[in-house]
């Protein structure tokens, strides 16, 4: 058995994207519509896994938005983000999925989801998704 062959069959359990718990997300009323209030949530503990190997991807995640009528309820956001933990998803796709789910829930004036993923194999990833899409 060659060195590579012993790793060919090794794979960790990987959940599909259907495990991302969008149903847990809740919104609450924002009492100051039109105020141009900027809201930012940050975590150093975002995790997902590589869709091919199941190896973990750790990142710093920032969600910044200008609410119109709704805020995201923070406990629900924490549970939602934690649901990515064992999901096989590309880093670039994760930020877009989070953006898409939160824009659908909150209907903000604008939103930006940014992630700085830790180095793996000598490469760090920085991915940003924005709404509305910059022109």
Q: Which residues are catalytic?
A: 50, 57
Q: Which long-range contacts (CB under 8 A, 24 or more apart) does 121-126 make?
A: 125/59, 125/91, 125/92
CA-CA distances (angstroms) from residue 51 to 34, 44, 85, 94, 97? Answer: 41, 21, 12, 11, 15
Distance, CA of 7 to CA of 60 (rounded, Å): 29
């Amino acid at each position: 058995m060659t060195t590579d062959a012993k790793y060919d069959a090794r794979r960790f359990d990987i959940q599909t994207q259907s495990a991302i718990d969008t149903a847990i997300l809740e919104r609450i009323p924002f009492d100051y519509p039109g105020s141009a209030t900027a809201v930012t949530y940050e975590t150093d503990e975002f995790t997902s896994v590589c869709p091919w190997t199941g190896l973990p991807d750790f990142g710093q995640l920032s969600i910044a938005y200008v609410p119109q009528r709704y805020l995201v309820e923070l406990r629900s956001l924490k549970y939602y983000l934690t649901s990515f933990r064992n999901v096989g998803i590309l880093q670039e796709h994760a930020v877009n999925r989070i953006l898409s789910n939160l824009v659908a829930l909150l209907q903000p004036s604008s939103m930006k989801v940014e992630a700085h993923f830790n180095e793996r194999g000598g490469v760090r990833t920085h991915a940003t998704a924005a709404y509305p899409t910059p022109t």
